[in-house]
């Protein structure tokens, strides 16, 4: 039986498009044998690995980001409970939220606490800040790993775990399909990194320039890896015109990227059909809405 690996990339709110791919797997009756993710991809992957269906993940995020008051209410609950906790968090650190508190506030309450409790093996990519290398976590406590992979610099403070200072997994490996190669028969990768949108007449704001520069560096890493050792199937939802923090546009993102699900189903069916199952697919399948 063909084993499947699913790699879900980073991209902040753009990663909501991963839901269409999860639903495509479900509707074809396919279950990944292993999931590996960076940043939002790891968080989406954790939901699926815990036993949630793609529809469950969709319903949860639609409820979670249904309005500003709900989102700000969840963020408000992440504040330190005392001055001592405030100091333990590092004091006043501009633009650095406590990643673990935020992750816990925006994930299902019944999500397993440990990797060993997941129904599907999961690898969470992080970046070892001082070690200057990528670090895949697949054992031990789950929430600190998810906090670390989502710890985008200038937004979240780094996470200490196992004697390391960890930041966003996308810094070193924004689309970790290479972590699956050699471990499963077929590797499916979903790239939601996107890129800056505009023209020479538009000057980006400082924040847009910061996030856009990060996107460009990550895309360079992805393109190089795809050129050297491509996955069997690469899915690229059209998400470039959304920002990394556009979670309040969840409903719009899901609606506008909806065709990705059917395109993914067709591509998966072709990949796993008898005429293709015995040979590696070196082409890049780009799934676009409209």
Catalytic positions:
39, 168
CA–CA separation, 171 and 69 (whole Å): 31
Dihedral over alpha carbons 27, 28, 30, 36 (to 10 degrees): -70
CB neighbours of residue 172 within 10 Å? 19
Please name which of 287, 237, 240 lies closest in space to residue 266, comparing C-alpha atoms.
287
Q: Please state whether beta strands 233-235 and 186-190 pair in parallel, antiparallel, or not at all (unpaired).
A: parallel
Residue-by-residue DSSP string for 187-224: EEEE---------TT-PPPHHHHHHHHHHHHHHHHHHH
Residue pair 123/176 in contact (Cβ under 8 Å)? The answer is yes
Residue pair 46/122 in contact (Cβ under 8 Å)? The answer is yes
- Residue 91 is given by DSSP the state S
């Amino acid at each position: 039986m063909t084993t499947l690996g699913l790699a879900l990339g980073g991209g902040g709110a753009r990663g909501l498009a991963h839901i269409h791919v999860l639903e495509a797997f479900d509707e074809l009756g396919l279950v990944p044998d292993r999931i590996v993710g960076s940043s939002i991809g790891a968080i989406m992957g954790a939901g699926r690995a815990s036993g949630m269906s793609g529809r469950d993940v969709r319903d949860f995020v639609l409820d979670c980001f249904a309005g500003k008051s709900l989102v700000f209410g969840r963020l408000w609950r992440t504040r330190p409970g005392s001055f001592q906790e405030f100091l333990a968090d590092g004091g006043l650190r501009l633009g650095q939220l406590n990643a673990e508190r935020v992750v816990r506030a925006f994930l299902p309450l019944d999500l397993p606490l440990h990797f060993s409790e997941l129904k599907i093996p999961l690898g969470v990519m992080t970046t070892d800040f001082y070690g200057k290398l990528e670090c895949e976590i697949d054992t031990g406590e789950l929430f600190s790993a998810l906090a670390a992979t989502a710890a985008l610099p200038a937004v979240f403070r780094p996470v200490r775990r196992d004697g390391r200072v960890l930041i966003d997994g996308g810094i070193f490996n924004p689309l970790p399909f290479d972590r699956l190669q050699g471990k499963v028969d077929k590797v499916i990768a979903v790239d939601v990194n996107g890129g800056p949108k505009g023209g020479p007449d538009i000057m980006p704001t400082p924040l847009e320039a910061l996030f856009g520069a990060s996107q460009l560096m990550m895309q360079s890493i992805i393109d190089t890896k795809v050129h050297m050792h491509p996955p069997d199937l690469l899915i690229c939802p059209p998400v470039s015109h959304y920002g990394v923090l556009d979670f309040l546009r969840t409903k719009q993102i899901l609606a506008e990227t909806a065709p990705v699900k059917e395109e993914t189903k067709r591509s998966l069916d072709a990949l796993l059909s008898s005429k293709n199952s015995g040979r590696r697919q070196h082409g890049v399948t780009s799934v676009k809405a409209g």
